[in-house]
Structure 1
Amino acid sequence: MATTVIATLMAMKHKPDNDKGPQVLAVTWTLLSVSTVVLAGRLYSKGVKTRRLYWDDGLMVTALLLGYLHACFITVAEEHGLGRHIVYLTPQQRGHTLRWGMATLAPAFLSPMFGRMGFCITMLFLTGTDPRVKKWPVWVFIVLQFLVNVTGVILFFTQCGTNLYVIWDPDKEYLYFDVCMNAKIQTYFQYANGAFNTLTDFYLTLLPAILIEHTRLSLKNKIGLACLLCLSVLAMIASIVKTTEARVLSEIIDYTYDLTPYIVWIVVELNVVIIISSIPLLRPLFKRNPRKLEAHVMRKWEISTSNSIFSKIGAKETLSQVDSEEENLTERPTSTPIGGSSDAAIHITQEVEVTYEPSNLPFVHAALVGLVQGEIQNPKLVKR
């Protein structure tokens, strides 16, 4: 094995000293900037319209923060030689590059995991408006997302037991084949992990389509909603490509160069997950001339949000209007004069207290993405 490695390294000296590092950084920070803008729009939309943030928002923020951590690790690794053939790096450069390159893989697993879990929570809210759609499959995917991806992180960082340093330490790298598990195990697990993430994205594409089909919106509106809610198909494509690139994990010789396509597709996947999960909730920012809703239906979603992740206010705290131009349903005190309209007349004041049902998050989120319009136009579809 050692002879094969040496022969391969000698052959690399005939290759040009190409550097893919700058391209990796350009893709990484450009996509991360787009994700930041889209997620900021999501938080602004929900914060202004509902005055609350929810569990799905917290998970998406966590995904973005891990994305930044991933980008910072990539930047440091690139400074030491990520993107160049390993034969052109000094032992110190090679050690630092491999060390920081390995560090990128923890947030690479966890960022899209939190992003998918966040979108699953959003779908849990939306399925609450349709009793025909079961929630338990969503919970299954949430739990399995956590278990499968965390297992991947643990497996990667324990592949050499307590001797992980042999991967990047130039003085100890000769011990790799003695103390570390076969690199193909990592590759096979990443194939399985990628297949499961792809399955999750497929489910998150199919589920919104079912919810949309159950409404009686016009075909035009259904297509529009599908374009917003079924974007997980893009994450599915990115996951498939990234999974095929996982073969590089068993090619342990020229890591600093061969890892770059895999890293790029990790970057694409984690940012696509954040972006496509947030785009549907940008809808209130672009909606024009919202129609006025009937009072008995509006009351379904002008409701308490006391169970919000960031809320500690009691159950009678009311939700602000999702559409600012819609009617204010709160009844105000009324006065009735006795004895004519004279200034000296006696006025009887009646105060009417309007209270709302306990938290009903499904209709809040359905209103934000547009699904609630189908319920309003067709009262028979309102949650029974």
Structure 2
Amino acid sequence: MSASLPPDVDRSAALLSSFWIPFPFTFLLICTRLYSRVLRKDLGLDDFLIVVAWVLYLIGLCLSTVMVRHGGLRHIQYLTMDQLEFVLKMEIVDQPFGVLSAMFGKISVALFICRVMGATAKYRRYIIYVNIAIYVALSFVNIGVLFGQCKPTAALWTPALAAAPSTKCLDASINTDLSILQAAFGAWIDFFLALLPLTFILKLKVSVKRRMILCALLGLGLVACVCACIKAAQFSKSTNNPDATWATYSVYLWASLELPFVIIAASIPPSKPVWDAIFNGKPIRLDSNTFKNSKSSGHSGLIYRFGRSQNSQLKSSTASMEESVGGGEADVQEKRNHSVV
């Protein structure tokens, strides 16, 4: 009987590394982002949401670490019933933090893209809003079905209760398919937000080097997109696997990489003024667009200038884009002199 058992292997060390190695980088970039925005008097909703995403990411890391340390990555045959129930419960409790962290992170990226676009193309902003609305709806439906698929909910992590005649559960494939759909649409959001800036950056009459830098900074979400795609693929492989604790390794691995990359991709462009100040000696200056906007309206934040000519909007958008990713006053003036006419 013992010869038929799989080896008693615990893969927790490898997964804990993927959990915690990216964490210091996310913390550093969150701090530099906020420091840059505070100095430039340019804090916005996108900054608040990325902090929310980071806090949820940290809570999820802690819960996942507890789950892993209690045998969450060993073969199910080597867990006691108490250990199994605890691990399954932690998996259920942990999932909403990952879903919501990714959701708020992607919303932050979307708002940042709206910030740098200015008001040159309202249709781009509407497309962003529609995609984000669909993603938010899928995320909350996913969480609702996760906790509501069984009555009582404790049947999700208590095998004896799940087998009881009084327990009512939906087909497990419903939750799995919805999780795959939510993860796949999240990958689409990353891909869409990474490539959307190309539609206006490539039209700017600035140097090729500057366009490449802007495209690279605003396209970092493609890394998170790859992680989300692989995570979605792993959901189907782990479905209905009798060795539940062993089969979820790949899902946790790619989910643990997707979240920090979302936060890192969202935080590097707004942090650029700090790195320019450290490595190039460029002073961190007040965002002149935000300053002008706050004087005229009494509010700071995203800059939408409606009612102007297209030429004026393009100039404003170019300057706003450069300043949002850290261009100094000289850079902004250069862009104003060479904007699309």
> In the alignment, does 2:91 pair up with 1:135?
no
CA contact (8 A) 1:238 1:265 kept: yes
> In the alignment, does 2:236 pair up with 1:247?
yes
The equivalences for 1:275-286 within 5 A come to 275-286=264-275
Structure with the higher helix share, 1 or 2: 2
Bigger relative contact order, structure 1 or 2 (CA pairs below 8 A, ≥6 apart): 2
SS of the counterpart of 2:26?
helix
AA matched with 1:30: I
Which of 307, 325, 338 is 1:369 aligned to?
325
Point out the more displaced range, 237-246 or 367-376.
367-376
CA contact (8 A) 1:305 1:361 kept: no
> In the alignment, does 2:216 pair up with 1:227?
yes
The residue aligned with 1:274 is 263
State how far apart, in whole Å, the 1-side matches of 2:320 and 2:339 are: 16
The residue aligned with 1:216 is 205
Residue 317 (structure 1) shift: 8.7
AA matched with 1:17: D
State how far apart, in whole Å, the 1-side matches of 2:163 and 2:13 are: 30
CA contact (8 A) 2:270 2:326 kept: no
Point out the more displaced range, 39-48 or 238-247.
39-48
TM-score by length of 1: 0.75
Which of 254, 276, 279 is 1:265 aligned to?
254
State how far apart, in whole Å, the 1-side matches of 2:160 and 2:154 are: 10
The residue aligned with 1:322 is none
- In structure 2, the CA distance between the partners of 1:122 and 1:317, relative to structure 1 (3 Å rule), is closer
* 1:142-198 residue CA offsets vs partner (Å, 9 max, x unmatched): 2122111111111111111x3121222243242399622222222222222122112
Identify unmatched segments of 5+ residues in structure 1.
Answer: 1-9, 308-313, 319-359
> In the alignment, does 2:301 pair up with 1:315?
no
The residue aligned with 1:44 is 35
Residue 226 (structure 1) shift: 1.3
CA contact (8 A) 1:225 1:370 kept: no
CA contact (8 A) 1:216 1:378 kept: no
CA contact (8 A) 2:118 2:320 kept: no
AA matched with 2:32: G
Identify unmatched segments of 5+ residues in structure 2.
Answer: 302-315
Which of 13, 18, 24 is 1:27 aligned to?
18
- In structure 2, the CA distance between the partners of 1:365 and 1:39, relative to structure 1 (3 Å rule), is farther
Number of equivalences: 320
Decide which structure has the larger Cα Rg and report it. Answer: 1
Residue 133 (structure 1) shift: 6.1
SS of the counterpart of 2:206?
coil
The equivalences for 1:331-346 within 5 A come to none
State how far apart, in whole Å, the 2-side matches of 1:364 and 1:216 are: 15
Question: What value does the CA root-mean-square deviation take over the aligned residues?
Answer: 3.1
TM-score by length of 2: 0.83
- In structure 2, the CA distance between the partners of 1:216 and 1:380, relative to structure 1 (3 Å rule), is closer
The residue aligned with 1:69 is 59
Which of 175, 187, 191 is 1:202 aligned to?
191
CA contact (8 A) 2:290 2:300 kept: no
CA contact (8 A) 1:130 1:211 kept: no
AA matched with 2:110: C
Residue 371 (structure 1) shift: 7.2
- In structure 2, the CA distance between the partners of 1:361 and 1:65, relative to structure 1 (3 Å rule), is farther
Identical columns (%):
25
State how far apart, in whole Å, the 1-side matches of 2:177 and 2:100 are: 19
